[in-house]
Structure 1
Amino acid sequence: MKQTRNTAAKTEILKLINHSPVALSHAEIQSALNGLCDRVTIYRVLERLITEDEVHKVVNLEGVVKYASCHSCSSEEKHIHTHNHAHFSCEKCKEVTCMEDIEPSFKVPKNYQVHEMNFTLSGICPNCR
């Protein structure tokens, strides 16, 4: 694996995502960084973190892209780990939570090869009930 340089922006964005119990949107990340870097830098860092398997993308039911850390995998498992788990999108507070213990299964025709999936459950989270 190629070594990449570590920047203050990358360090802060990764720390923010790793400490969040829910997936964060680009706007939420930018707001929390209080002007540390511009929006383009944030996008670049997020794409790099995805490539490095540090975070994964989740699209909520409104089409907003959010970013989450994989809390269940260790650095030793990164080479075999996938982010193909279910997510829960709360209709009330709009928070998206990874449900890493739930891995949906499905069958596709022989000629199709699945690389990623986005499985989102919608409803009311425990905090909003």
Structure 2
Amino acid sequence: MASKPSIKLDNFGLRATTCRVAVLDSFQHAGYALSQGDIEQALSSQFDRVTIYRTLKSFLASGLLHKVLDDQGSIKYALCHDTCHQETHQHQHDHVHFKCTQCGQTTCLETVHIPTIILPEHFVKQESNLLIQGVCRGCNI
């Protein structure tokens, strides 16, 4: 069960504004990655685009969300879970993302980790992204 939005915001050091609660609630109810456009479409009657944009930026900065790139080069956002916050207290999301070719939803597969890649000398990894495309469980039934 998803935690209450205001409690989750407090855990990330964010004040529970009306917009933040509404945006977080959208992510918790969706259960998959959302684009800024998805959020704007759902909440346009309540908040303007700039407020939603600033909310997403504050969620990213606090570690509540992470970016997910899709096959179109578009940015989506997904809620971070306990697996994103390692024991080293570093925010990482080196897990696989799956985009369904039928419904278009992008989902975090948190138990499937990106394999370790050994880079050449003097190259330093900052982030890894791995997107797998196929048919999701819901569409495959």
What TM-score do you get using the length of structure 2 for normalisation? Answer: 0.79
SS in 1 for 2:54: helix
Query: Structure 2 unaligned runs (5+)?
Result: 1-11
CA distance in structure 2 between the aligned counterparts of 1:120 and 1:74, rounded to whole angstroms: 17
Distance 1:47 1:77 in 2: 24
Q: What's 2:135 paired with?
A: 124
Compared CA separation, residues 72 and 111, structure 1 to 2 (3 A): same
Correspondence for 1:90: 100
Structure with greater contact order relative to length (CA < 8 Å, sep ≥ 6): 1
Letter of the 2:66 partner, please give it.
Answer: H
Give the 5 Å matches for 1:6-85.
6-73=16-83, 79-85=89-95
Shift of the 75–11 alpha-carbon distance from structure 1 to 2, 3 Å rule, reads farther
Name the SS for the 2:113 alignment partner: coil
Secondary structure of 2:30's counterpart equals coil
**Distance in structure 2 (CA, Å) of the matches to 1:90 and 1:39:** 27
Contact 2:95 2:108 in 1 (8 A): yes
Per the alignment, do residues 34 and 116 of structure 1 end up closer, same or farther by CA in structure 2, a change over 3 Å counting? Answer: same
TM-fit CA distance, 1:76: 9.0
Equivalents in 2 of 1:76, 1:59: separation in Å?
22
Distance 1:103 1:24, change over 3 A: same
More helix by share: 2
How many aligned residue pairs are there? 128
How much does 1:79 deviate? 2.5
TM-score where L is the length of structure 1:
0.86
Structure 1 unmatched runs, 5+: none
Q: Secondary structure at the match of 2:51?
A: helix
